[in-house]
Structure 1
Amino acid sequence: MSFVMRRGLGLTSTLSSSARAFSTTPARRVARITIVGHLGDTPELQATSTGHEVLKYVVASSSGPRDNRQTSWFRVSSFLPEGPQRELLRGLPKGTLVYVEGDATMGTYQDAEGKTKSSLNIMQRSIEVLKRPAQTESA
């Protein structure tokens, strides 16, 4: 960053050509997404084709007036290493209210009928538990 003296305005900074005028962080090729919603089911651990493990779960987020609520379902993946964070996430029950931040990318694939489909892929960056579902007497 360089500084320029403007007549009557004092010292003013100017950004270099590689910086973005609206942000001090570098540009990224990934979109960010924030989701607040309820877990659709208990997160599941699945093996990838390369032998790694990925934790997958679904978050339901609703919006709109009570008489016309719309629910969106988001599939989220997490490559948390073994340890307490992964075990905590695996143990969260269906209905837990969560706050998820992730990287969102669009992907395409061929369905069983050969049609090209697109999907939103979300890779978890962080997750916070906002509220656990109420315990029932039978639980």
Structure 2
Amino acid sequence: MNKLRNRVQLIGHLGMNPEVKTTDSGHKLAKFSLATNESFTNSNGEKVDETEWHNVIAWNKTAELIESYLEKGREVALEGKLSTRSWEDEKGVKRFVTEIVCNEILFLGKKA
């Protein structure tokens, strides 16, 4: 049995309209940021709201759905895997980014 060991599930709101493009090889790619919120009471009894921002990418059919139906503010549930990649910028500095590669998405709530 194949066990998925790198799995992420998030519910949040899009922080931007998705950026969608088609690669030279004809694959569709969607990129967007997702905000997840958490509330808790700190040691002083004060309510604290924290927002985490996540970079999300999706390919092909999932990217097409995202392009057709999602916009900034829309609430979604998604599942995917964490992926970290690196590159060198124009000054030769090595850069890193961690993204969620989305393979399933569920549209929640109403359109923003």
| Same-fold call, TM cutoff 0.5 | yes
Mapped to 2, the partners of 1:110 and 1:101 lie a distance apart of 29
SS in 2 for 1:35: strand
| Structure-1 residue corresponding to 2:2 | 26
Partner residue in 2 for 1:100: 78
Confirm whether residue 46 of structure 1 aligns to residue 21 of structure 2: yes
- In 1, Cα distance between equivalents of 2:3 and 2:81: 14
CA distance in 1, matches of 2:26, 2:103: 21
1:74-110 CA-partner distances (Å, limit 9, x unpaired): 121111339xx824x2232211111010121221222
Structure with greater strand percent: 2
C-alpha separation in 2, matches of 1:80 and 1:52: 6
Match for 1:70 among 43, 50, 74? 50
The size of the alignment, in residue pairs, is 106
Q: Distance in 2 between matches of 1:93 and 1:41?
A: 7
Distance 2:49 2:89 in 1: 30
**Runs of at least 5 residues in structure 1 that lack an aligned partner in the other structure:** 1-24, 135-139
Q: Give the deviation of 1:57 after TM superposition.
A: 1.8
Q: 1:49 offset after TM fit, Å?
A: 4.5
On the 8 A contact 1:95/1:132 being kept in 2, the answer is no
Tell me the residue number matched to 1:22: none
Q: Which stretch has the larger CA shift, 104-113 or 70-79?
A: 104-113
CA distance in 1, matches of 2:50, 2:90: 28
| Offset of residue 40 of structure 1 | 1.0
8 Å CA contact 2:31–2:57 kept in 1: the answer is yes
1:110 is aligned to 88
Q: Give the structure, 1 or 2, with the largest relative contact order (CA under 8 Å, sep 6 or more).
A: 2
**Cα distance in 1 between the residues matched to 2:40 and 2:90:** 37
